[in-house]
């Protein structure tokens, strides 16, 4: 199994490799200079060997230039990704994402059911993965539905503003068979940010990866 390499990871590795090669390059030059300075005048360095060493030095220098070019390309890729994401600002998006911030006394999600269900349970989890609230979903029919949590926890406490919470859904038929479902974040894109080389969108209380967006539409005009 191979882990994905982000632009930030690649840039970091490229920079580390360049530093290592530059150090070796400096050492190589120092050794070559010392060799030429201390060679025996009656038995100078063989020209073939000297040419091979110069060729090797040129190869290292070329590799350093290549690494500089890769770093420049990675930086340009990040900028292009952020510029492209900026086109989403002001548009309405739907994303397959489940984390949002509890602000102003509420946290909002949407959820989608692939078919009508008999039993649909929603769970709100805190940042530690603990279930702080559980209850029936407001709608059990096929399609997309909205859910707003008021912060009241099963323990009787109230969620503080600023916490990040995740919604989990379980849907079943009367025969106890699972119904396809997913949690969504829907809303207007207010801004874009760059995290670990990947563009993220600010939608309501969520900051979600651009790659999670599954639907996009123009914002409906408001009547004056």
Q: Who wins on pLDDT, 110 or 28?
A: 110
Phi, psi of 24 (to 5 degrees): -65, -35
Which pLDDT does position 196 carry in this prediction?
80
Dist CA 133 CA 67 (whole Å)? 51
- Residue 67 in contact with residue 18, Cβ under 8 Å? yes
First to last CA, the chain: 55
C-alpha–C-alpha distance, residues 73 and 189, integer Å: 28
Question: Nearest to residue 149, comparing CAs of 214, 205, 202?
Answer: 205
Question: Would the pLDDT of 75 be above 60?
Answer: no
| Structure-token match 């999600």, residue found | 109
- What mean pLDDT comes out for the span 134-144? 96
């Amino acid at each position: 199994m191979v882990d994905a390499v982000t632009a930030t990871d690649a840039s970091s590795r490229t920079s580390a490799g360049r530093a290592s090669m530059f150090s070796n390059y400096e050492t190589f030059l120092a050794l070559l200079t010392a060799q030429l300075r201390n060679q025996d005048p009656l038995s100078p360095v063989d020209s073939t060997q000297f040419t091979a060493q110069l060729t090797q030095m040129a190869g290292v220098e070329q590799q350093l230039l290549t690494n500089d070019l890769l770093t420049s390309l990675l930086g340009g890729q990040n900028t292009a990704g952020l510029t492209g994401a900026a086109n989403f600002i002001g548009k309405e998006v739907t994303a397959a994402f489940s984390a949002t911030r509890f602000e102003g006394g509420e946290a909002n999600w949407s959820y989608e059911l692939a078919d009508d269900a008999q039993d649909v349970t929603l769970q709100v989890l805190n940042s530690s993965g603990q279930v702080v609230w559980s209850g029936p979903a407001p709608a059990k029919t096929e399609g997309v539905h909205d859910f707003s949590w008021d912060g009241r926890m099963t323990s009787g406490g109230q969620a503080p503003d600023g916490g990040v919470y995740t919604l989990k859904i379980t849907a079943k038929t009367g025969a106890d068979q699972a119904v396809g479902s997913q949690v969504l974040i829907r809303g207007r894109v207010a801004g874009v940010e760059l995290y670990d080389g990947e563009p993220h969108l600010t939608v309501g209380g969520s900051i979600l990866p651009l790659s999670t967006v599954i639907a996009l539409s123009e914002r409906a005009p408001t009547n004056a």
